[in-house]
Amino acid sequence: MLKCRDIAAHASEHLDGELTWKQSLGYGMHLLMCGYCRRFVRQLHATIACARTVAAQDTLAPDEARRIAEHVLERAARP
């Protein structure tokens, strides 16, 4: 069984789909049982999505920055 530190160490690989099916199965089992790790992975996913959005644009209007920040905070607040 994976430990929380294993989940954190391989979170990027999980989100990028780079784990083997066996690793992915163990990862998923841990996430089913651990709310803290589910929240961590969800927050990492939201952070990556926001970073990609910002990187894709040369400039970011103030209302867009506010909208992204609200989205991140909303996703982070979910249990």
Is pTM beyond 0.75? Reply is no
In tens, the pLDDT along 60-73 reads 677 887 888 888 88
Alpha-carbon Rg of the chain, whole angstroms? 15
Q: How confident is the model at residue 58 (pLDDT cuts 50, 70, 90)?
A: low
Region of 28 (left: φ > 0; alpha: ψ -120 to 50; beta: rest) is alpha
Q: Tokens standing for 56?
A: 């894709």
3-state secondary structure of 4: helix
Handedness of CA 8, 46, 72, 32 (dihedral sign): negative
Contact 51, 21 (CB under 8 A): no
Please give the pLDDT value at position 38.
95
Confirm if 7 and 34 have CB atoms less than 8 A apart: yes
User: Domain ranges in the chain?
Assistant: 4-77
Can you give the pLDDT at residue 71? Answer: 83
